[in-house]
Amino acid sequence: MAKFAAGDFVRVSGRGFEYTGTVMPSQDENITILKLENGYNVGIVTKRIKKPHIIKRAKQSTPVLSKVKSKSGLPKITIITTGGTITSRVDYKTGATHSLTKPEELIANIPELTKLANIKIISPFSQWSEDLTPQDFQRIADTAAVELNKGASGVIVTQGTDTLHFTSAALSFMIKDLSKPIAVVGGQRSSDRGSFDGAQNLICAVHYCLSHIAEVAIVMHANTDDDYCYALRGTKVRKMHSSRRDAFRPINCLPLAKIDPKKGVEILAKNYNKRTDKTVKADTQLEPKVVLIKFFPGLKSDIINYYIDKGYKGIILEGTGFGNIATDTWIPTLENASKHAIICMTTQTLYGTTNNHVYSAGVREEKAGVIHCNDTLPETAYMKLMHLLGTNKNLNEVRKQMTQNLVGEINARIEKNSFLY
């Protein structure tokens, strides 16, 4: 039987199967792993392979990367990479992913970028997005502000998609006087798959950073094809699917812009902040002792006492419907807790708004000191309260600001056609 190595492109067959793909490293010599042309991996018991055929041997040479030279006349874009699949590639010899932290590596993967801007890459850290901490949000915000003030036309932040909307909300609140675009970008599919979406997302993010919009936005695929991307306001967006390339959707609003990777930006929003020459400031103080709690039938109010006893300063609740909880058992607990922490209510429906005047339960919540946050998304309310508590010691002022629109997180009116957009 022909022997093949990691990186070889092969066709293997046996009783009841035939596969064509690239050989991946395997920790078990009894299992052969192939990366199929559709991007998925398949494991095959090696002794079941009866007819192996090597179509193409793996290249042993290391690719030569050309030094990226700045082109006069092109704007400067800074990409802050923090991990995730969007700026990584697979090494088929080892099976490991390699982060692209040098401009020449990124350009080799996505050469179209050189026609749009001069790219600078900064990698302050690299980790899974679910491992991000408030300190990481602060580092990203500080780095973005410095780069914008040093002359970058815009900043792109790349990371894993699972917490992309937390990052976009955090940056929206922490960066003051934002005068240029910030795009927060991820990839739902890895770069070794034919359905890799990161290249288009990055190209569209560069277009967004050259636009007249001066807001934090998530820039991702608008549909499952490679037609165009949407720029979605950083405080009104959420990941609504675990794997689809168009997983990020605007909530209670329309996209800021539609971005064609070849034609550029078409602004859709009627109201948006426009690019200026103002100096950007980063106000990155965050109160880490804020928690987000999802209410469900049967949840005991003891959980509130637990966090109060632990010294938490803020609690964001995801209530049902208009922002409801089990009033008879929860109201006394919330009334006491509101003396020690700021308690806010959002709705777990995401679409729509809280309303404490529809049912008597809402009125009782208000009397107990619970603040209804209108149509602020739960994750956005979480980042907002962390920021306000970190930057303002006047708790009455914080309570007031939680009901006010600061950076587009609260709509005065929700457009009907924004539902499931």
List, by residue number, the catalytic residues. 85, 161-162, 239
Report angle CA 408, 411, 412 to the nearest 5 degrees.
125
Asked whether the beta carbons of 224 and 241 are under 8 A apart, the reply is no
C-alpha distances in angstroms, 283 versus 153, 172, 293, 392? 21, 11, 26, 11
**Which residues contact residue 117 at a Cβ distance below 8 angstroms, ignoring those fewer than 6 apart?**
74, 75, 76, 77, 153, 206, 209, 210
Helices (H), 177-319: 198-209, 302-309
Strand 257-260 versus strand 118-122 pairing type: unpaired
φ, ψ of residue 33 in degrees (nearest 5): -110, 130
Cβ of 403: how many Cβ atoms within 10 Å?
13
Strand 175-176 versus strand 182-185 pairing type: unpaired
Place of tokens 């971005």: 259
Q: Is 10 exposed, middle or buried (0-12, 13-18, 19+ CB in 10 A)?
A: buried
Helices (H), 338-394: 360-367, 378-391
Asked whether the beta carbons of 215 and 233 are under 8 A apart, the reply is yes
Q: Is 361 exposed, middle or buried (0-12, 13-18, 19+ CB in 10 A)?
A: buried
